[in-house]
Structure formats: C-alpha cells, structure tokens
Amino acid sequence: MSLNPNSPKLTSWVNISPDTDFPIQNLPYGIFSIDGHPPRAGIAIGDYVLDLSKLQDSGLISIPGLPWGVFAKSTLNSFIGLGKEITNPVRERISELLQTECEELKNRVELRHECLIRRDEVTLHLPLQIGDYTDFYSSEQHAYNVGCMFRDPDNALLPNWKHLPVGYHGRASSIVVSGTEINRPKGQQKPNDQDPPIFGPTRLLDFELEMAFVIGKGTELGESISTTQAEDHIFGLCLFNDWSARDLQKWEYVPLGPFLAKNFASSVSPWIVTLEALEPFRIAGSKQIPKVLPYLEYSGNKNFNIDLEVYIKPEDSEGIKVSHSNFKYMYWNMNQQLAHHTVNGCDVNPGDVMASGTISGPREDQYGSMLELSWRGTKPISMPDGSERKFINDGDTVIMKGYGRKNGVKIGFGEVVSKILPAKS
C-alpha cells in the first residue's frame, strides 16, 4: 500500500538529488513545452518534468471526474478549477506511481522515457491564464517600515491596518513567468518639492519579495468564502516578485501609489506548490490585537514556515544574498485575505492570483525590498564587484528562492529570476 504523499519515509525510483527543491513529497504543477510541441501540464520531480498528458493517455491516471485531455491544455486553469475532490486524488495517484515500490510506470520503459523529460530540456511557461490579480499588504514589519519612512514612527500603521487585510486590485496582463526580462519603466517623478514633476525612466527601481496563492475552485457573484472554507479554494502557492518604481510610486499617491509604479511587471515562479504539500510547515501566526471581526476569525495554524531568499547579481559579476526572510512573518494569513476579499460577494475564478504583499521580518537582513534594506537609499549595499546598490540597476538580475525543511525533507518553489534591461526609447 502506498504511503501518505507527505511522508518523509517516501522514496522514488526516479534518481533525485538529496537537496532538490522537488522531491517526491512536493510534486508541484507547471506548464512546459519541448521540441516545438504545444505547451502542456507537467509535474517537477527531481531534475525531471513528468508529462501528465502522456501519463493520462497511457491510462495510468484514471480518476473519477477527471476530464480526458485536461493535461493537454496550455494552462492549469481547467484542472485546478475541478476542486480538491479531484486534484487531491490526482496528486496521490502520481505519488503512488513514483514511489520506489510501484512498478506500474517504472517497468514500462518506453513510456517512462517518454513521460520523464529533463528540466533543462524544456521551456517553462506562465502556468495560468490569470484573469484577476490582487496584491495585499499583510506583513506588519513591512507596513511599519514604510509608515516610518513616509509618515512617522508613532503613526506608522494607518488606523484600519489591524482591522482588515489591506489590498488592491492589480494588473494581471503584466504578470510574467520567471526568466522574462523587464525593461525599466518610465513615468512622472518629483525629485524635490521646489521644481515641477519630470518624466523619464525610474531612478528607484525595486523588488518586492512576496508569495502568491492561486485560486482553484471558483465562486459565483454574490457568494462569500469563510476562513473555514478558504483552503477548499486555494490550490497552491508560488514565488512572486512585485516590481515597484518607488519614485513614480511616491508621486502618484502618498504613502505609496499602486498604479504606473506597479503595473509594468510582476514576476512569478513557474511551479505551483500545492497547499497539501506544504502541510508539514504549518505554524501559528501572530497574536492579532485588537480582536478581529467575526468573519476574520479562524482556528488552527494558518501561517507557513517557508524560508525566502533574495539575491542580486550585477551583470558580469557574482551575486550576493541581500535578504533572508520567511513567509511566517505575515500578520494576516491567506484564509483571512480570501475571506475579506469575498465578504462583499466578489466572485473568484480558477487561476486568479493573490499576492501576500512584501514579506519583511524583524531584522534588517530580513527586509523584503530595497526600499527597506537600503532605508530609502541611506544605507547602500556593497556588491562583490565593488559597486553599491541603493536600488536595482540596469543589467542586474534579481533571484528569489523559497523552501521549507522538516524531517529531512525540503519542499522548494524553484526560483523566480528576472533581469532588468534599460528603458525603451
């Protein structure tokens, strides 16, 4: 009998490095293509991608309610929209097929070679058709830091901040997959109080270290999702870099504007790690004072102990780690975010993305943006090539990583990698 998909005792007949982000306990979903064939769904396992379309065609994935050909589509929307009653048994079946003792796929040598493709031989695509995107502002340390900079330490958090998860509706069309190069955005800035605004490329380009959750099963207009129901609708998570142009942002709206300063690009990792794979990393969240309203109350451990790292690599030089934060530093958890998002009857759809907001820990090396790490440019960060960074330069590559470790098992998210190019003329 197969073991629980999260069991640390699980081993696979696939050759897997001990420090991989993608052991058999993970099995994240993505969309890939190879040799000019159309994009289709796959699962990451070690250094390989498992072709789910070929696996379903072979008859080895046969789950009641799973439509034929759902893995041959160019996005995961149709699959994740089926709900946990379908997607969870699929994960359990794939885990079973990859376990050491299972010979159903292992002994079918030709099929095995067709289904398992090295990751360095495939092209990874944006895994979702993202209809809507919401960005929250849910890390207390980040909100406090920004409030100190743009207001004062005694009034760093606005009066509503500890009563509801602050968020805004963002631009979905400019969310791009890891590896997509980003041109420096242009817009209005006001360098000083005396002179009129100017127009040009942002001088203060910044990253924002975030996680994002993906909606699986959707709702109808007028329906609300409670904190208890939320996890039935959250398919999984990915890394999210919500790029920001701080000078455009400050001029657009005080304290920080979310229009042109934010809508030029957001970068996501190509693999979606299921909520079920993250079960071992659940921990308690912050004690919320004052007491929240009833619709935001929840029970159980809803935060996750996921290490997050940010690296900056200048062009033609070595990179350096500039931040080591953790997803556990969230004041408002995903269940509360989704409950608040839908309490007014807002509907959600498969593939909708909801980002956490910048994740900053209590120490300076745990801050999740250059705005905080360099404290508005007053504390430059030294690079290995002798240069300094207050914000992100042209030619810089920003790399974000995420992973949890427990009982000898590492569950990783891969990377979200983006290089900054000069502004277009």
CB neighbour list of residue 32: distance below 8 Å, 6 or more residues apart: 39, 40, 42, 49, 117, 122, 123, 124, 125
Answer yes or no: are the C-beta atoms of 261 and 252 closer than 8 Å.
Answer: yes
Interval 177-194: pLDDT, tens: 999 999 999 999 999 989
User: For the segment 273-304, what is each residue's pLDDT rounded down to a tens digit?
Assistant: 999 999 999 999 999 999 999 999 999 999 99
Catalytic residue among 142, 233, 340, 341: 142
Q: Looking at residue 3, what is its pLDDT?
A: 74
**pLDDT band, very low/low/confident/very high, at 81 (cuts 50, 70, 90):** very high
Instruction: Count other C-beta atoms under 10 Å from residue 36's C-beta.
Output: 6
| Biggest distance spanned by C-alpha atoms of the chain | 75
Establish whether 169 is a catalytic residue.
no
**Local confidence band at 361 (pLDDT 50, 70, 90 cut-offs):** very high
Predicted confidence (pLDDT) per residue in 367-407, tens digit: 999 999 999 999 999 999 999 999 999 999 999 999 999 99
Predicted TM-score (pTM) of the model is 0.97
Q: What is the DSSP letter of 423?
A: P
8 A C-beta contact, residue 24 and residue 294: no
Predicted confidence (pLDDT) at residue 255 exceeds the cutoff of 70? no
Q: What is the mean pLDDT of the chain?
A: 96
For Cα atoms 301, 414, 168, give the angle at the middle one, nearest 5 degrees.
Answer: 60
- Other C-beta atoms closer than 10 Å to the C-beta of 131 total 15
Structure letter (DSSP) for residue 126: -
pLDDT at 272 over 80: yes
* Domains located in the chain, CATH noted: 29-125 (2.30.30.230), 133-421 (3.90.850.10)
Q: What is the DSSP string of 221-245?
A: TT----TTTHHHHEEEEEEEE--EE
pLDDT at 254: 72
* Over residues 120-136, mean pLDDT: 98
Confidence check: pLDDT of 256 > 70: no
